[in-house]
């Protein structure tokens, strides 16, 4: 059940109406927990026991850690072991083998599918353990812990919300306090970027996959890389926007996940604007504990490479994801010695040049993200510098490509903010137009890209 399905619309409407009924007010947390379990189990009911084990085990380690902090590392290892078991086991096992191990029960467990959103709820679990243990908080109710970890708007693809931010919000909610206008704007924007922008671009960027990319002309390969950069932004921004809007409807404010990342003047700035909740998590729970930038230049560079490499592997168990993370680590390391000098020179041409370099490098790195097979990624990249005479693919339309990418371009050019005052009276019509385009010009249905993580 995805956000863009009619089943989800019906589900969300029923939960919303029930949630604010006066007799239910005392049970709002429990209702959201049950609704979240239903939402998760709708697609993978066989993995609901795993979710219960993950949350129940984390709660047990939390109770132990609040009593004795020496249990905290064990709780973190427990969660990382769950993530490693499901996400990285086939780095060491052949999935095509008739039997992975001799034991039938273990073989059954090893063949369980990758749980949707496991990377996200494992990070929530670790945040819960660390934040509450450090703050020496009182033991929270089990239902509150379940809600924080599996709250359905953020369960599958985030944003990754820190426990210290979410847990204080768990109080009785009133319908009168719901910011309906703000929530509606977020939801409409999310659906528009997903249905109109991302889904239509997906129909074209599908040609980046093996073996379809072998039919592309050289210029087509270049075009598709940039289109994929717009697509993945629109896709993930769309999901995050819908999640934020849904959270507001139920009285919970989730963190902003994107802030015009393609306007970044440096790679370090990019990571304060792209997938903000992930970069914040990595900085808080990995980069700083490793020593951050407190132990000299070489140690700082090493920490950056470790964090970005692990950040790449967090997305998937493949050398291509590792290469994507390592590339971003190299970008950060290479720019770091020159950052203060560049920031001191405030000229428009230099700013535009810096923005162009960052955008180009980030876009080229998406090749390794789009193609998890490292050999395919290298072959695609090589083909960008090899002239070909292949015919133009039937679904690659240059004029439509610009049309579908235009909303991302306009958003990043801050067109709306420049004319915010003048456009206020026309805002309802503008959002109405977004709804119409999302409905009438929606691209073929496709799963959210980050569902696979």
Residue in the block written with tokens 């409407």: 13
Tell me, yes or no, if 328 is annotated catalytic: no
Residues 6 or more apart whose Cβ sits within 8 Å of residue 382: none
Rg (CA), the chain: 23
**Catalytic position from the list 275, 315, 328, 376:** 315
Distance CA 11, CA 7 (A): 6
Does residue 95 have a cis bond before it (omega within 30 degrees)?
A: no
Longest dimension (CA), the chain: 70
Rounded to 5 degrees, φ, ψ at 112 are -65, 140
Distance CA 19, CA 399 (A): 46
Catalytic (active-site) positions: 315
């Amino acid at each position: 059940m995805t956000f863009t399905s009619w089943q989800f619309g019906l589900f969300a409407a029923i939960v919303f109406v029930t949630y604010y009924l006066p007799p239910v007010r005392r049970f709002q947390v429990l209702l959201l927990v049950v609704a979240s379990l239903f939402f998760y189990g709708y697609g993978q009911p066989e993995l609901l026991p795993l979710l219960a084990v993950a949350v129940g085990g984390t709660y047990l380690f939390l109770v132990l850690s609040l009593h004795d902090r020496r249990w905290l590392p064990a709780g973190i290892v427990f969660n990382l072991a769950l993530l490693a078991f499901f996400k990285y086991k086939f780095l060491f096992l052949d999935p095509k083998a008739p039997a992975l191990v001799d034991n039938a029960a273990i073989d059954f467990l090893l063949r369980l599918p990758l749980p949707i959103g496991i990377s996200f709820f494992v990070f929530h679990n670790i945040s819960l353990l660390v934040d509450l243990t450090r703050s020496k908080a009182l033991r929270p109710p089990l239902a509150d812990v379940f809600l924080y970890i599996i709250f359905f708007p953020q369960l599958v693809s985030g944003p990754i919300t820190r426990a210290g931010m979410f847990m204080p919000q768990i109080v009785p909610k009133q319908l009168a306090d719901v910011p309906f206008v703000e929530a509606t704007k977020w939801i409409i924007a999310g659906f528009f970027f997903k249905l109109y922008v991302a889904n239509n671009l997906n129909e074209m960027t599908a040609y980046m996959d093996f073996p379809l990319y072998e039919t592309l002309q050289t210029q087509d390969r270049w075009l598709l890389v940039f289109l994929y950069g717009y697509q993945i932004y629109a896709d993930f921004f769309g999901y995050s926007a819908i999640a934020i809007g849904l959270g507001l409807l139920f009285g919970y404010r989730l963190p902003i996940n994107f802030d015009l990342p393609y306007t970044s003047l440096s790679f370090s700035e990019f990571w304060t604007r792209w997938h903000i909740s992930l970069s914040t998590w990595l900085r808080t729970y990995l980069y700083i504990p490793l020593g951050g930038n407190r132990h000299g230049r070489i140690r700082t560079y090493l920490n950056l490479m470790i964090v970005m490499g692990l950040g790449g592997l967090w997305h998937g168990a493949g050398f291509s994801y590792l290469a994507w993370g390592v590339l971003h680590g190299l970008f950060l390391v290479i720019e770091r010695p020159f950052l203060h000098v560049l920031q001191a020179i405030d000229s428009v041409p230099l700013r535009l040049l810096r923005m162009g370099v960052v955008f180009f490098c980030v876009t080229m790195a998406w090749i390794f993200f789009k193609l998890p097979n490292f050999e395919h990624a290298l072959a695609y990249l090589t083909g960008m510098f090899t002239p070909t005479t292949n015919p133009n693919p039937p679904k690659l339309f240059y004029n439509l490509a610009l049309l579908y990418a235009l909303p991302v371009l306009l958003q990043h050019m801050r067109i709306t903010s420049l004319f915010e005052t003048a456009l206020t009276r026309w805002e309802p019509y503008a959002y109405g137009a977004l709804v119409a385009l999302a409905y009438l010009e929606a691209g073929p249905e496709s799963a959210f890209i980050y569902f696979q993580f």
